Amino acid sequence: MNKSLPRSELLERKEEFESVHVAIEQIAQLDFLDPKTIAKDVTIHEAISVASNDILNFLDHVDQHASETSPQGLAVFGKLFNVEFFAVLFKQRKLFHGLATHSLPVAERESSAAVVCWVDMILSRLGDNIVVVASGGSLAPLLSVSTNFKGEDGLCAASQLPVAWLSVPATIASGQASPAAKRLALRLSFAAFVLGPCLSDKNEPLTPRDIIETLNCFINEAQATEFSDSGVGDQLALQERLNFSMVLSLYATASRDHASESHLRPRSLGRLLGMLQNVLHPDDTTVSLQYLAPPQILDSAQILLLHWGDAVAWCWKTWDDYRAANAESVVFLTTMWLSHLDIPILPEQVNRSMTVDTASSIAILRVLHQIILSLNTVPSPIDSSLTAMTIISRACLFSVQSMNYLLGRQNEDECWIVSNMCKCLLSLFVLLVAKTEQDLIVYDYIIEALSSVDPQTLHICVTHLLEDSALRFAVRLHERLVWAQNSILEPLQTLKLHLIRSTLNFAVVLWYSGAHGCLSHEFVSPLLRDITQCLTEKTHFSDLASVVLGDALLTAFSAERRDGPGLSDESRECLWTFGITSSPRQLSIASSFAHYVLTSNLLCDALYCAEAWQCLGNVLLLILKHHYIEEQEPLALLVCPTLCAALTRLLQANSASTRFILSTPFTLNLCADLTRVNEDTLDDKYFVLLKQRLEKVGLSLLDQIRYMLSPNAVAATLDVPTITMRLMFYRMYDVSHLVFVPDI
């Protein structure tokens, strides 16, 4: 509802909504009355007159003020576009048509004049309002004629509808009905089986079993018409495209309802694709389509197709083979849909078209292919396009969901989708240059999707990309590393810091895959060295740089060693100093530092090891006391075994640091808390999970400390359980992170 309306008008609209709800309920109650009673009771006739007038006044107001359609108004339409309500209307229509006919002189009863009643008036107005509700805008009259003539034309169409509601869908392809009656039947069917369920919380009604056959007849007879280039021609063309949109939506809904009974004939399939093309790009061939520059303003037919029902998802499933003739239109459909998603992009709020499955994953993959082709063009046609960046961002978001879906299924027949999506995302990272902070989310989506893939698949994909001479993957990646190194030496802005962070995280993914040859030592080492120096220097921007780059740098040093033993660590002491002096509140840095210590080939001297023990032990104590809450709590549970393993490594570092560690009261407190968590039988979910996570590594640390404190301890230590690490992406306080966590 328009909140700028005066208070008096707001109250008036509220009363109108209440009265129309009452009117709909009164009409619905007629189904429980004896038709003979309705025919004879004047009081009932008067009540029907008032109720029908309330409904008609509401429909007139919506048609005249389409932009003001409010949630309250849509709730009203949820009741009007209801199969049961339509059935009641048609029963009353039959009754009142009979009453009207009997009231005529005997000589006129068999004339060809149409008999109409209050139901026909409602059906006629509903026909116009269906388009208004579905498109969110007013539909101009097809011809420059008076409103009265338009109303008479609608009444004439309503009067030609069949007697029973169940027969209305069949009228869509009837050879006896007029074009106006067919159009009204199509709109009413669309309202009942597509719009109504979307606007109501009631169970969705099944479409009639024979509606697919009816729609097939319509499809095989329908042909796109060449209308004149004029105002009237444009309106007629839009009217035809609206019909095509409704047919596609109904076909999609019916196919879902009767999956085992729907059989698409090749001829029907081709004609349906032709309808889709006519709705999406009536003036363009598939060759001339600009996939990343779809219309910024949608017309009524396009809105109807994209935002209501199952049409988009059904098109993805029906034309999932890119080799099909004119299947490029489905790619254009996907980019248009992505660019006009006006709802929050959150997994729990997705509509049916956004449900992730194999078909939707293939659709997103095809869009990613087009993005790569466009970005690899010199000069790139989408450098400054906000629409293109919107499409890229949303395609990458859905690629994350698709990757999780496909990897969770582990279906061998779908491995090619995962591999190709990986190649596209790897290519996109080196091709795309983020220019705003909003663009950075694309890098996050790419890294999130890639981090969920196993190293072997990533390795194969990177190897293939290195062989692509047109892409120049290694060259572009090295250019990104050089840019990052140059940027770290300049006054840093938030955008640059996050771009450097994304570059480090991408390097971690590549190192994790074990793909050799991507990141040469001569480019990587200076970058890591300069970032380390930046973080340890006390400058006006070092604190911000520490928050943004700290854990990413530590994770990068850890991952670097996975790509063979040839890379040296020249900044060991600076890195240890940074990790030790970081605040325990920065859990992401502490967890990355713990993994760095655990995987280091060489540890620092005894003093550093003792300070690292104190630092990481403090963090573990805070986890044992449930200090980390809200968004930090899941990370604390994930990394607590890493902390224990790192502490075990430090305990075994050298005799000097070991003696100091064992002599401090802090170590005794740590043992006490580890024992408490292990022996407690609390039902608290956090401590139950914590006990499970520490079952092996935590107890091993406790045993090591006890053993080394015993008088019979010798130089040799107890065996330490081996833990396997995996790379994990997570978000905390709107910042993305990569961390290695134990695969327990």
Bridge partners, residue 727, by sequence? 740
Residue by residue, what is the 3-state secondary structure of 368-409? HHHHHHHHCCCCCCCCCCHHHHHHHHHHHHHHHHHHHHHHHH
Residue 348 has pLDDT above 50, yes or no: no
| Chain-centroid distance, C-alpha 233 | 38
Please name the residue that has the structure tokens 């008088």: 711
Closest CA to 488 of 479, 478, 498: 498
Residue 433: strand, helix, or coil: coil
pTM: 0.88
pLDDT band at 224 (very low <50, low <70, confident <90, very high): low
Contact present, 184 and 177 (Cβ < 8 Å): no
**Mean pLDDT (whole number) for 378-393:** 75
**What's the count of helices (H) and strands (E) in the chain, helices before strands?**
32, 2
Strand bridging mode 725-732 / 735-742: antiparallel
- Least confident interval from 246-255, 570-579, 661-670: 570-579
Contact present, 493 and 434 (Cβ < 8 Å): no
Q: Quick one: pLDDT at residue 168?
A: 96
∠325-327-333 over CA atoms, to 5°? 155
- Least confident interval from 28-37, 102-111, 179-188: 102-111
Q: Quick one: pLDDT at residue 170?
A: 94
**Mean pLDDT (whole number) for 544-556:** 91
pLDDT band at 227 (very low <50, low <70, confident <90, very high): low
Instruction: Tell me how far CA of residue 671 lies from CA of 62, 587, 641, 676, in angstroms.
Output: 72, 21, 15, 9
The 10s digit of each residue's pLDDT in 5-18 is 455 555 566 777 88
Query: Who contacts 447 (Cβ-Cβ below 8 Å, separation ≥6)?
Result: 429, 502, 505, 506, 509, 729, 736, 738
∠355-359-364 over CA atoms, to 5°? 80
Per-domain boundaries in the chain: 1-162, 472-570, 594-744
Q: Amino acid letter at 334?
A: T
Most confident of 252-261, 513-522, 622-631: 622-631
Q: Quick one: pLDDT at residue 518?
A: 80
pLDDT band at 592 (very low <50, low <70, confident <90, very high): very high
Q: Quick one: pLDDT at residue 564?
A: 47
Buried b (16+ CB within 10 A) or exposed e, 678-701: eeeeeeeeebeebbebbebbbebb
